[in-house]
Structure 1
């Protein structure tokens, strides 16, 4: 079985015009970066991988994760994690409850709390479980969003311009942390960005999509 994420001859059309075409295997711990200007179809490709592609797009090809074709699998069963440029934390939940939300169902309350505390420790936010997300800095929110996604135990990670809202110094720090955590878990990573520095830092292959 081929471990990793395979985009097998994926073609996406809109209004009978070709938008995106990609055929590539991403091995565990590797990053494939898709670059290009806004509107070129980068996020559309991610929507195809997560199973959330809007009905006005037509697509062919397959998404294969760890040897299993998940093209027709419902989005919530695909085990594909995604980070967006907005951290999307739930404002009505504490930091700890946000992280608990990422955990698979089951297990005792104490076991779940221990996992949450461990995740916070891993990203230098020990003791933050009871904090209101509104009190966090941009970098802290990004770390919580990352760990919530990793606690859901995904088999692949998608990055949709996740660093674009951070200032330069923070951007490099959060980017390094995201790649390090994902690679340590041997996740195949598919990133879309229009930022050359992000692409460079990822250290993997880069596909550039041109505007039609």
Structure 2
């Protein structure tokens, strides 16, 4: 279980810190909702390790993870910006989700091909991200996160700019990942995403 208690962060130009408490168990999706500026993305960045909390606790399976750098945390993040490497092919971008040095086995390459088919990008493995549409790039980002297979998945507006059919396909992949035991924290302004994926809600206030 992911547990965060009185986890706080204060931006330099503000008078008071943002403070968060909540939890999500393996096989659950926690939707974090609230108005703009209430700290939804800040919470995800604290969990991922991209920001450091001023106080409070952050635990995964009862173990403190605040001292771990982002790359050692059991976390994969998908943000609204796809964060792909434009000089690498779609295939290699996905391969980074399996091995950071792209030392891929035959089974790894087969898993990449299968994932490309699942997200509707079969035939595009050799293209680079600049040759893709925004929606296609976001599908690559989601596919890479799923291939990493970490026990905790953070989603920050992951379906922005996608057409309804693609959005539904990716939602189903996320549901499948949840049902396999992944703990998911979702930030989305789209109520249909929340209704489709979330088991529980954490509502933040401004």
Per the TM superposition, whether the score is higher than 0.5 is yes
Number of the residue aligned with 2:139? 143
1:145 match: secondary structure? helix
The alignment status of 1:119 with 2:118, answered yes or no, reads no
2:85 match: secondary structure? coil
Residue segments in structure 1 that go unaligned for 5+ positions in a row: none
CA distance in 2, matches of 1:78, 1:17: 28
Number of the residue aligned with 2:18? 19
CA distance in 2, matches of 1:13, 1:125: 41
**Alignment counterpart, residue 185 of structure 1, candidates 177, 180, 187:** 180
Measured against aligned partners, the alpha-carbon deviations of 1:53-100 in whole angstroms (never above 9, x if no partner) come to 16xxx5322222233221111111002011111222222111101111
Number of the residue aligned with 1:78? 73
Q: CA RMSD in A?
A: 2.4
- CA-CA distance at 1:170 after TM superposition: 4.4
CA distance in 1, matches of 2:5, 2:99: 29
Number of the residue aligned with 1:36? 34
- CA-CA distance at 1:33 after TM superposition: 1.0
Measured against aligned partners, the alpha-carbon deviations of 1:166-211 in whole angstroms (never above 9, x if no partner) come to 34x2464255234224214311111123333322222322222121
Q: Tell me if the contact between 1:36 and 1:193 (Cα under 8 Å) persists in the aligned partners.
A: no
Residue segments in structure 2 that go unaligned for 5+ positions in a row: none
CA distance in 1, matches of 2:54, 2:99: 31
Measured against aligned partners, the alpha-carbon deviations of 1:112-151 in whole angstroms (never above 9, x if no partner) come to 3223223223334333321232333444322221121122
Number of the residue aligned with 1:5? 2
Count of residues in correspondence between the two structures: 203
CA distance in 2, matches of 1:182, 1:27: 13
2:96 match: secondary structure? helix
Q: Tell me if the contact between 2:4 and 2:20 (Cα under 8 Å) persists in the aligned partners.
A: no
CA distance in 2, matches of 1:108, 1:31: 30
Residues 102 and 95 of structure 1, relative CA distance in 2, 3 Å threshold: same
**Alignment counterpart, residue 159 of structure 2, candidates 129, 139, 163:** 163
CA distance in 1, matches of 2:128, 2:155: 25
Q: Tell me if the contact between 2:6 and 2:19 (Cα under 8 Å) persists in the aligned partners.
A: no
